[in-house]
Amino acid sequence: MTLKTSTDKDIIEYLLYAERDAHEVIKITDEHSELTISQAYELQDGLLERRLKEKNTKTAGIKLGLTSKAKQKMMGVNESIYGYLHADMLAYEWEPIRFSELIHPKVEPEIAFLIGEDIQGENITEEDILRGTKYVAPALEIIDSRYKDFRFKLVDVIADNCSSAKFIIGSKLVLPESLDLGNIGMVMSKNGYVEQTSSSAAVLEHPLKAMVWAARSLAKRGRGFKKGDIVLSGAMSEAITINAGDSVIAAFDGLGVVSISVSE
Ligand code: OOG
Ligand code: MG
C-alpha cells in the first residue's frame, strides 16, 4: 500500500510504538471519527508492512476476530474482522509469555486451521475450506489491544491488526473431516479454576462458516489463505485476563489440550 497522507503514517507509527513500548494509547477514532472500514484495513496493511520490517519477520497466517456473539457483545460490535499473524507472534507451551512485554493481555480459545493448499475466491464454500485444510489443532490466542482500557470501535481494532499479540498451537494435529467441527466442546481454566466453557458452534454457528466469510472477504481484496498459513478461526468464548504467574489450559473435545503460562 502506498501511504496517502502523513496522517496515515503517524497513526501507524503511533500504534507500532504502543506495541514496542507496551503502553496503551487513546483510540484513533477519538481524533479521526471519519475513518471507514476500508481505510482501517489500509492502515492495517501499512502497519503490517512496517512491523514485518521492524521485527525482521514474516507472515505466518491470518486471524479471524469477533466471530462469536460472546466476543461481539463483549466488545460492543456486530461484525467480524480479520488481521494477520507474524512468525514472531508464535509462542510455545513450554516458554512462558512475558507479561512485561505486553500491555493488558487476554487469552482466548480458538481452533487453528493449517492450510494445505491455496484457498482463494469470492465463491469459496465450506467444502473448499475443508479440502484446503490439512489439519486442525487446538490454539490459544493472546490478544493485547493497544488501546486504553481495551476499548475501541471497529475501525480502531482493524487498524490495530485486530489486537494480535501472540498465539500458541497445541501439538495434536487432527484431520478436519475426522471430527464434528461444528460442535467441539471446550473448557478453559486458569490456575485450576474453570473460567469459560463453550462449543465451536459459538463461532458464527460453525467455524467453517467463519472461514468462508474470511475467504470471501479476503478475495474481494485479491487475497486468500495460502498453503502453509496458520488460520485462527476466532475465539470460542470471551477472552480472559492474564497476569504474571497465571497458567491457562484449554481442553477441546477431540482436539486435545493447549496451555500457556505467564512470567513477569
Ligand atoms: C479483537 C480481536 C478479537 C477474536 O478471536 O474474536 C479476536 C479484540 O477482541 O480485541 O481475536
Ligand atoms: Mg482471537
- Could you tell me the CATH number of the domain that includes residue 27? 3.90.850.10
CA pair distance 235, 250, nearest whole angstrom: 12
Average pLDDT over residues 138-147: 98
**CA-to-CA distance for 254 and 161, rounded, in angstroms?**
30
Q: Which atom of ligand 1 is nearest to the CA of 232?
A: 5
Please report the atom of ligand 1 found closest to the CA of residue 66: 6
By most ligand atoms within 8 Å of CB, the mutation choice from 162, 164, 230 for ligand 1 is: 162
Q: Does residue 231 register a pLDDT over 80?
A: yes
pLDDT recorded at residue 78: 82
Tens digits of per-residue pLDDT, 168-180?
Answer: 999 999 999 999 9
Pocket of ligand 1 (CB under 6 A): 63, 65-67, 71, 75, 108, 141, 143, 145, 157, 162-163, 234-235
Q: How far away, in angstroms, is 160 Cα from ligand 2 center? A: 13
Give the pLDDT score at 5.
Answer: 66
Q: What is the mean pLDDT of residues 5-23?
A: 93
Query: How far does residue 239's CA lie from ligand 1's centre (Å)?
Result: 8
Tens digits of per-residue pLDDT, 67-98? 998 888 887 888 899 999 999 999 999 999 99
Cell representation of residue 83: 488481521
Give residue 95's pLDDT: 97
Torsion of CA 226, 231, 234, 236, to 10 degrees: 140
Whole-number pLDDT of residue 145: 98
Nearest-ligand number for the alpha carbon of 81: 1
- Residues of the chain with pLDDT > 70, as a percent, come to 98
Does the residue 1 lie in any domain? Answer: no
* Domain-located, residue 125: yes
Q: Tens digit of pLDDT for each residue in 28-62? A: 999 999 999 999 999 999 999 999 999 999 999 99
pLDDT of residue 196 exceeding 70: yes
Q: Compute, in angstroms, the gap from residue 106 CA to the centroid of ligand 2.
A: 10
What integer best gives the mean pLDDT of the chain? Answer: 96
What is the model's pLDDT at position 49?
98
Mean pLDDT of 213-222: 97
Which residue has the least CA distance to atom 10 on ligand 1?
163
Residue 3 lies in a domain: no
Q: Which atom of ligand 1 is nearest to the CA of 145?
A: 10
**Residue 2 resides in a domain:** no
Q: How much is the pLDDT for 69?
A: 83
Q: Does residue 184 sit within a domain?
A: yes
Percent of the chain predicted with pLDDT > 90 = 93
The sign of the CA dihedral 142, 148, 154, 158 is negative
Question: Is residue 228 a part of any domain in this protein?
Answer: yes
Domain-embedded: residue 215: yes
Please check whether residue 25 lies inside any domain of the structure: yes
- The best mutation among 27, 66, 236 to test binding of ligand 1, ranked by most ligand atoms within 8 Å of the C-beta, falls on 66
CA dihedral 75, 76, 81, 83 (to 10 degrees): -30
Domain that holds residue 154: 8-263
Q: Which pLDDT score is estimated for 25?
A: 98
Cell numbers standing for residue 119: 484457498
Query: What is the 163 CA–ligand 1 centroid distance (Å)?
Result: 6
pLDDT at 132: 98
Question: Which residues, in sequence order, are bridge partners of residue 26?
Answer: none
**pLDDT recorded at residue 1:** 39
pLDDT, mean of residues 134-156: 97
17 vs 22: CA distance, rounded Å: 8
Q: If pLDDT is split at 50, 70 and 90, which confidence band does 4 have?
A: low
Ligand approaching nearest to the C-alpha of 141: 2
Among the bound ligands, the one closest to the CA of 210:
1
The count of structural domains within the chain is 1
- Ligand 1 centroid – CA 6 distance (Å): 28
